[in-house]
Amino acid sequence: MARLVLFTGGARSGKSWRAEQYASQHAAHVYYLATAQAGDSEMQQRIGLHQAQRPSHWQTIEAPLAASQALGQLPSGSVVLLDCLTLLVSNLLLANEAQPEPVIQTEIAAMLAAQQARDLHLVVVTNEVGMGIVPAYALGRVYRDLIGRANQQIAAAANEVYLVVAGMPIEIRQLQPAWAK
């Protein structure tokens, strides 16, 4: 049965680690949808740390711009960890600066449709970026607004939502599947 789970929190809150634990509890084999791009040596190190943390038998799929396409090609019933929505939105914004919002909304809708069509157990990691100061520059404000709306779209469709603070997951939503009611 298709399930959507969202882990959100601040930078270095432990959300990826908690999402990895969650995915491991639901399947031995997990597809890991990576959205990060190694544009510099610091980002390469971050990606390397994430790779070292997760089980080596998980299959990594690079999807920096088209997570929905990758989801649509996975075997039905798979457990998938998408890390992270924040970088996916950033990548789409930078690739479509003139008109990012329709592209991002279309990608989020396509991801949700693929998740349902393929009956995937999709675990999504994202950042809460709107809890801090207002960015001083226009692109930062646009990004904050876009990721806020994308997070809302995913959370509205999610069966479970967790806010991770200092490594501790706080349950925000836990919906029972229709068959359990």
pTM (two decimals): 0.92
161 in helix, strand or coil?
strand
Cα 96 to the center of its chain, rounded Å: 20
Distance CA 24, CA 97 (A): 36
Is 9 known as a binding-site position?
Answer: yes
Q: Tell me the domains of the chain and their CATH numbers.
A: 3-9+28-175 (3.40.50.300)
pLDDT value of position 181: 52
Please give the single-letter amino acid code of residue 100: P
- The reported pLDDT for the residue numbered 77 is 96
Residue 165, classed as helix, strand or coil, is: strand
Measure the CA–CA gap between 119 and 43, rounded to whole angstroms. Answer: 33
pLDDT along the chain (181 residues), means of 10: 93 92 93 90 83 87 96 97 96 96 97 98 95 89 96 96 95 70 52
Task: Determine whether the annotation assigns residue 15 to a binding site.
Answer: yes
Entry field: residues in the chain: 181
Structure tokens at 139: 């692109």
> Is residue 121 among the annotated active site residues?
no
Q: What is the pLDDT of residue 179?
A: 46
106 known ligand binder:
no
Task: Tell me which amino acid residue 173 is.
Answer: R
pLDDT of residue 39: 81
How many whole angstroms separate alpha carbon 48 and alpha carbon 129?
24
**180 among annotated binding-site residues:** no
pLDDT for residue 178: 54
What per-residue confidence (pLDDT) applies to 49? Answer: 82
**pLDDT (0 to 100) of residue 108:** 98
